[in-house]
Structure 1
Amino acid sequence: MQQRINAHRSGVVAPSRQTGQVSGGQQVGKSTDTPAFSQILSTKLESEVRFSSHASTRLKSRNIDITPEIMGKLERAVSGAASKGAKDSLILMKDLAFIVNIPNRTVITAMDGEKLKENVFTNIDSAVIAD
């Protein structure tokens, strides 16, 4: 039996009744090579460490400057804690400490050397020394 392709005068192939298909079974409108926007967005959001408003306030009030080097160490430490199943971690670097919610990849608070000596850390399930 011979399959017929209905073509309009414009030369456009008329789609069959199945969504996303033209006569002959060819897929249209979808590329399997490129990831969906939602996948790209979630991957990007999962890879970056964010700072809560409280942490941002603490950084400003304590004059803590987050350099790209510190940010890189922080991101590696968060990824390491996540791979071990941590939920809330204390991340220590030289004279800095961060409390991070690992599943959300969000820094909850930050402190420098002087405040480190005065603190007792509670409600954490892990500690990472990122130096």
Structure 2
Amino acid sequence: MDDRITIGQLRLNGVNTAQSRKTIHSESKSGVESFKEVLDRNVLNFSHHAEVRMKQRGITLKPEILTKIGNAIDDAAAKGAKDSLILYRDIAMIVNVPSRTVVTALDGNSLKGNVFTQIDSAVIVS
């Protein structure tokens, strides 16, 4: 293993890189998801408003909780939801499902007496 690879030395078995890019692009249109599409589907976004509310209310989310919330959004999307109330323990979030964006977040104290409107679904995360 004394051979080193330098920049520009690695080739795709004689395949023209412009041709390979065209192939990758055409494959994404033929039903195979591109890396960006997979990444966008799995990313959870937070609006500025949601970030401010979470900071004000002391809401922090660990990576495993974010994964559970992402799975809940996937479930809501599979049912055709557009705007969902996601409940996790004493945290409630309004999420725009198509964009996977948390619009606002409430903690247990802020939940009391609230009426949630303009949602079409609710998902309870365990």
Q: Same fold (TM over 0.5)?
A: yes
Give me the TM-score of the superposition, normalised by structure 2. 0.75
State the match for 1:67 in structure 2. Answer: 62
Question: CA RMSD, aligned part only?
Answer: 2.4
Deviations 1:91-127 (A, max 9, x none): 0011010000000000000011011112100000000
1:100 paired to 2:95: yes
Distance 1:75 1:85 in 2: 15
Aligned pair partner of 1:31 in 16, 20, 36: 20
TM-score (norm 1): 0.72
TM superposition outliers: structure 1 runs of 4+ over 2 Å: 27-32, 34-39
| Residue in 2 that maps onto 1:86 | 81
Gaps of at least 5 residues in structure 1 are 1-26
Question: Mind listing any 5+ residue stretches in structure 2 that lack a counterpart?
Answer: 1-14
Number of aligned pairs? 105
Residues 13-34 of structure 1: CA deviation (Å, up to 9, x unaligned): xxxxxxxxxxxxxx744238x8
Q: Residue 18 of structure 1 corresponds to which residue in structure 2?
A: none
Percent identity, aligned pairs only, is 49
Q: Name the structure, 1 or 2, with higher relative contact order (CA <8 Å, separation 6+).
A: 2
Higher helix share: 2
